[in-house]
Chains A and B, each alone.
Chain A
Amino acid sequence: MSRRAPKLEVKELCASYGGRIILKDVSFHVDRGEIVAVIGPTGSGKSTLLRAVNRMHELSAGATVSGRVLLDGADVYSPDTDPTELRRRVGIVLERPIALPGLSIQRDVLAGYALTRTLPRAPEEVAETVLRRVGLWEEVKDRLSTPSVGLDDGQIQRLAIARALALRPSVLLLDEPSQSLDPSGTAHVEELLNELRSQTTVMLVTANLQQAARVADSVVFLEQGHVVEHARAAKIFTNPEDPRTEDFITGRFRTTA
């Protein structure tokens, strides 16, 4: 894999929550415009890894982080980095996305602007563009001023992706983005990921190994907070080096609890 100017470098990252260690010396890199899928069993630290990359993890009481996360070569944990500004550049779609109460569909899509009172020049156009990209425009175009909490789970999932995209992040972190979607919605998300390729660097946590195989350029396999293997997707899914990776992707994985 190319080692030239990675967009994102994670170096010896450790994270804990309430005294429980969740990530242990995690290191890998993501090239610019690459889609990296993070796979692993439940509780392996996939979501924590995403939240540590854009400093959401530290917001939880009792959470600690050490190690380095370099974005374009600059450590996101350096004192000079403003975490609120970082979270706009490194967008995240959380595992169970929600509609923001009290906001219309249009304002919810633009919440990143509305809540900081920095609306873009043509807000309606921005909202339409991102809603089209996630395949939601046709479903909501006639009720943009109605409350977003009225949308169903699949629509809220896509709305959350649109909300993150509206801020034009250079890195997008997606935590199980197809969890509440039917096959058509999943196809929309995967089309979107292919569209984003080369423009935006994407880290995708997914339990859907077929999805990882379809869209990811590279794959990080996490187990109990350790990186077991990081390689090109084709290699991971056809000829993994570590037997634990092979066990997991072939369904022979067993927890060691």
Chain B
Amino acid sequence: MSSETKLGRRRVSLGWLPHVVGVGALFVVLAPALSLVATLLQRVRLDSAVLRALGEAVVGSLILVSLGLSLAVPLGIAAGVHVATHPRTRLAKLASVAIDILSGVPSIVVGVVAYALVVLPTGRFSVPAGAVALALVAFPEVARSTTDLVASVPTPVVDTALSLGVSSWRVTTFLLLRARGAALVASLAAVACRSLGEVAPLLFTTASGAAFDGSLGAPMSSLAVEAFLSVHTPDGGARAATLSLFLVAATMTIALLVRRRAPRSA
């Protein structure tokens, strides 16, 4: 605890108070949850079948989220940059409206759309169908974050770069990668974490429960969907808790990686 004397009166800094309150609140919220999870975990039979299902769910989540983001991130960044840098064009106005509408659509509706777009024509649940559903959920978030980040760069920074004979496209790339790189990585990580927890879009596109046959054209399990489906099994609560723990571990890993690896904003 730090303190300082000013004008003869002793002034005590209360900078530590928010930390104590924060840790206390975290404990109050987490303690019962952890207790419940510990109780449920004691009931889990970690036999080979459970471990195999867990492994498939982890791999499935990674594949689905990776494919979904590989579609959503480039498209979202391109749309976000265009909306921020050319706001008066017809395309930008159209994109802006589309982003607003998509971001307000419930994810279960997105699942139905992906079902109509991919599952009905192909006649089966599949990984690409799930990836499209996740991409539709992630796209507006990536685009909106990008628009906000580009628009938040101070005009003098843009002017300075342009005054050096740098093209507008390179200026935007530079600004995104340098001036707002850390913030962009953080927002993409948040989108990845939310995608990991999506259930509704995947129920209509790639929901599993069956064993993974190694083909991307087949249904594939994922952590969130398996947690949802396992509730209805005999030891469902315990399995759901285990899968949820893996989800928490995955999102915490992403958050920690972003903190350690993200370039520092100046």
Contact = CB atoms under 8 A, between A and B. Distances in A.
B124 interface: no
B162 A87 contact: yes
A120 to B, nearest CB: 14
Contact of A101 (B88, B157, B159): B157
B174 A115 contact: yes
B156 A98 contact: yes
A181 B159 CA distance: 22
Contact of A94 (B156, B165, B170, B178): B156
Contact of A59 (B157, B159, B179, B265): B159
Nearest to B174: A115
Interface string A76-111: 000000001111100110101111111100000001
A149 B161 contact: no
Contacts of A158: none
A65 to B, nearest CB: 16
B167 interface: yes
B164 A87 contact: yes
Given A87-B165, A92-B163, A111-B164, A98 B157 contact: yes
A116 B265 contact: no
B164 A163 contact: yes
Contact of B159 (A94, A112, A116): A94
A93 to B, nearest CB: 8
A54 interface: yes
A59 B160 CA distance: 12
Contact of A115 (B88, B166, B263): B166
B97 to A, nearest CB: 21
Contacts of B157: 98, 100-101
With most chain A CB atoms within 10 A of its CB, the pick from B157, B159, B160 is B160
Given A115-B174, A116-B166, A116-B170, A101 B266 contact: yes
Contacts of A54: 163
Interface in B9-52: none
B156 A88 contact: no
Interface in B140-158: 154, 156-157
Interface string A109-143: 00110011000000000000000000000000000
B181 interface: yes
Contacts of B166: 84, 112, 115-116
B102 interface: no
B250 interface: no
Nearest to A101: B266
A115 B165 CA distance: 9
Nearest to B154: A98
A105 B162 CA distance: 19
B159 A85 contact: no
Interface of B: 88, 154, 156-157, 159-167, 170-171, 174, 177-179, 181, 263, 265-266
5 contacts: A86-B165, A98-B154, A102-B266, A112-B164, A116-B164
Given A97-B160, A100-B161, A116-B170, 4 more contacts: A96-B156, A97-B156, A100-B178, A115-B166
